[in-house]
């Protein structure tokens, strides 16, 4: 009987990309350097509109995944070249 390969699990910081501002949580992350010329924000800051850390973590996970998909799509559309230029 074949054994299933073990999956490597990496502990992720539960507070990644979360910043408390007053009583509300915000999603805060940097635009990847190789996309800075496309997205001039530098830092992405979005209010999660909640004071609950549990809700903030769920909303952060959704935004984090959406950002990953966005950067993958941009990479596919513009090519994998690190020196992408807007035309």
What is the structure's pLDDT at 54?
97
28 domain-assigned: yes
* Whole-structure pTM value: 0.75
Whether residue 11 lies inside any domain: the answer is no
Domain assignment of residue 37, yes or no:
yes
Q: Is residue 27 part of a domain?
A: yes
Domain membership of residue 36 (yes or no) is: yes
Domain membership of residue 73 as a residue range: 18-78
Q: Is 53 helix (H, G, I), strand (E, B) or coil?
A: helix
Please report whether residue 57 resides in a domain. Answer: yes
Cβ distance 59 to 46 under 8 Å? no
Whether 10 shows a pLDDT value over 80: the answer reads no
Over the chain, what is the mean pLDDT? 86
Residue 8 within a domain: no
Would you say residue 62 lies in a domain?
yes
- State the total domains in the chain: 1
Q: Compute the average pLDDT of residues 28-35.
A: 92
Q: Please give the structure tokens belonging to residue 87.
A: 């035309």
What are phi and psi for residue 17, nearest 5 degrees? 65, 10
* Short-list 39, 46, 24, 22, CA closest to 73: 39
């Amino acid at each position: 009987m074949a054994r299933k390969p073990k999956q490597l699990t990496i502990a992720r910081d539960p507070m990644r990309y979360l910043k408390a501002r007053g009583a509300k949580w915000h999603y805060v992350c940097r635009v990847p350097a190789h996309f800075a010329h496309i997205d001039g924000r530098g830092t992405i800051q979005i209010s999660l509109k909640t004071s609950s850390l549990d809700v903030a973590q769920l909303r952060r996970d959704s935004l984090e995944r959406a950002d990953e998909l966005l950067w993958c799509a941009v990479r596919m559309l513009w090519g994998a070249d690190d020196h992408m230029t807007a035309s």
